Structure 1
Amino acid sequence: MSVAAPLADALAPFLADPSRAAILLDVDGVLAPIVRHADDAHVPEPTRAPLIKVAKGYGFVACVSGRQAAVARRIVSIGSITYVGNHGTEILRGGATEVEIDPEIAAWAERVAAFANAAWSEELDLLRVRSEDKQAIRAFHWRGAPDEAAAEGAVRALAARAEAEGFAVHWGRKVLEVRPPLRMDKGRGVEKLLTGAHMGCALYAGDDVTDLDAFRGLRELVAAGELGSALCVGVRSDETPEPLEEAADVLVDGPIGVRGLLTTLASSV
């Protein structure tokens, strides 16, 4: 795919000085195509190849995911870059083996697990809702369920119970996350990564409502003088939330569009 003129123009500061440019990317729906079963997600080799070049030539490269950081690294299969997981609460730095976890968030893991176990029902099981243990977050997926509408209805009932018991809930693409009532978002992760990093510009590419926080985080860093400029890239699909399209500076079409973006970035290093 050739990069459209508006995007090519927006990438000019990155291409001009890669050493002072940060490239931040969501994983699912951005680098890795959305799949029916989350465990099957992977980044295709034609996308990994330019990403590896970008990782070697740009000032800072990271993946920012709602998944656990170690899982995101497995999906992308590049160990030299940094991974922010669980919506900003985990950091797995390039080459490291130990995940840095926010202790305030980690303290909630047992309470979230206890709620999830108590709230699980035979109905959810029969509807093929899948529960994913992410330590201080419990995710409930219904993508690919035989009756997705019925499964979503059951998950919404679970969400109401979670809120009544004092937990925070967050909705994604056919997934509910039950979280501690604390700030947990990709913007927080982006701010941690780039504050004091002395980057001139930064790009973030995302496809879901959770990525709006990362967009805000980048723009706040510009306002604070930590960055000279920011580029928020929305990744379109047939499930693209309207707020993401409205908030993005530019749009690309799916993971193939992201591959084109990475290929353009890689051309300067």
Structure 2
Amino acid sequence: MNKPTALEKKISPLLNLFKNTPPALALDFDGVISELKSDPRTAYVDEYCLNTIIKLTKILPDISIISGRSAIDINSKLKLENLTYIGNHGAEHIKNGQLIRKSPEGIEIMIKSALDYIKTQTKNIHGIFHENKTISASIHYRGSKDHKKTKEILSNVLSNTPNIDKLDVFWGKQILEIRPHSQFNKGYAINHLIESKNIKNIIFLGDDTTDLDAMIEIRKQRDLGNISGFSIYVTQKNINPDKKLSKYSDCSIEDIEEVRKTLDLIYSKYKSSA
């Protein structure tokens, strides 16, 4: 009998918390089931992860993709009908092929105005990509030569951006996000999933600061006795782990290679339930 790997020693005890009851699975997209790209438009779902997710749909009660991307975008990346696609950090989702969106009145005009200004002020920065997601916006600068300098420029631009005082600003991995003042975040998305689908067991995988709210919500619901669940922090090689993500996750794994293996471990654990 083969000795368990270091990864198995991390994941198997957590899976045992569910006993033989298959859990729901919630996954971030970028940095979890898709390699991080300098230009997010070129990102695609990892083929191995996709094939394992297809197998998992036959044995898990629910699989959701929770992303800062638009729900339409992540739906187009995976193209699986039996998944729940939650976009814009919980503000929209695709249900039965229909897009359901919740947004404050006037937010689309406000987001466009802010993004148009940022575009004009940063048009000479090579490797930057501005994305209008209708009810939020992202400025991706992973492709810029000097991440630190680009962030400083963006920070200065924000101080004069129209309506910025009426919007929320978030920084992630070489990304600036602008969203409406609202309760929408991945914690809201997890809470809505748990309540709307009566989920009692859940696993969440995330890699960035925008996933922190989901990890905190899972811990909160677990401490209240409402669910059994845990969060996995997907770190990157040669990059120091985020302290808050490390604190609120239940374990960490490294890069997409270990995401593949973790999905395999989940499948192996519950495949007899099919």
TM-score by length of 2: 0.88
Distance 1:260 1:198 in 2: 28
Single out whichever of 156-165 and 135-144 deviates more from structure 2: 156-165
Residues 15/92 of structure 1: CA separation in 2 closer, same or farther (3 Å cut): farther
- The match for 1:101 is 101
Does the CA contact (< 8 Å) of 1:196 and 1:226 recur in 2?
no
Distance 1:34 1:194 in 2: 28
Q: Which runs of 5+ in 2 are unaligned?
A: none
Distance 2:169 2:52 in 1: 36
Distance 1:68 1:76 in 2: 13
Residues 164/196 of structure 1: CA separation in 2 closer, same or farther (3 Å cut): closer
Dislocated runs of 4+, deviation >6 Å: none
Q: CA deviation at 1:92?
A: 1.2
- The match for 1:37 is 39
Distance 1:15 1:62 in 2: 21
Distance 2:107 2:124 in 1: 28
Q: Does the alignment pair 1:58 with 2:60?
A: yes
- The match for 2:131 is 132
Q: Which runs of 5+ in 1 are unaligned?
A: none
SS of 1:17's partner is coil
Q: CA deviation at 1:14?
A: 4.3
Does the CA contact (< 8 Å) of 1:187 and 1:214 recur in 2?
yes
Does the CA contact (< 8 Å) of 2:115 and 2:132 recur in 1?
no
Q: CA deviation at 1:15?
A: 6.2
Distance 1:154 1:241 in 2: 23
Percent of residue pairs bearing the same amino acid type: 23
Distance 2:86 2:77 in 1: 13
Distance 2:185 2:157 in 1: 21
Does the CA contact (< 8 Å) of 1:195 and 1:221 recur in 2?
no
| Count of residues paired in the alignment | 262
Distance 1:165 1:215 in 2: 27
Does the CA contact (< 8 Å) of 2:205 and 2:232 recur in 1?
yes
- The match for 2:212 is 212
SS of 1:131's partner is strand
Single out whichever of 239-248 and 46-55 deviates more from structure 2: 239-248
Distance 1:166 1:188 in 2: 20
Deviations 1:245-265 (A, max 9, x none): 122101111111111111111
Distance 1:40 1:6 in 2: 32
Does the CA contact (< 8 Å) of 1:82 and 1:92 recur in 2?
yes
Does the CA contact (< 8 Å) of 2:38 and 2:141 recur in 1?
no
Two-structure CA RMSD over aligned residues (Å):
2.0
What letter corresponds to residue 175 of structure 1 in structure 2? I
- The match for 1:195 is 195
Deviations 1:202-260 (A, max 9, x none): 11110011111001222233344432x11111111144422111221011111111111
Does the CA contact (< 8 Å) of 2:194 and 2:200 recur in 1?
no
Q: Does the alignment pair 1:153 with 2:152?
A: yes
SS of 1:189's partner is helix
Single out whichever of 31-40 and 156-165 deviates more from structure 2: 156-165
Residues 14/76 of structure 1: CA separation in 2 closer, same or farther (3 Å cut): farther
Q: CA deviation at 1:146?
A: 3.2
- The match for 1:168 is 168
Deviations 1:56-78 (A, max 9, x none): 21111101101001111222332
Distance 1:255 1:14 in 2: 24
- The match for 1:115 is 114
Residues 196/183 of structure 1: CA separation in 2 closer, same or farther (3 Å cut): closer
Distance 1:51 1:207 in 2: 18
- The match for 2:14 is 10
Residues 79/196 of structure 1: CA separation in 2 closer, same or farther (3 Å cut): closer
- Indicate which of 69, 72, 82 corresponds to 2:71: 69
Does the CA contact (< 8 Å) of 2:33 and 2:259 recur in 1?
yes
Distance 1:29 1:103 in 2: 26
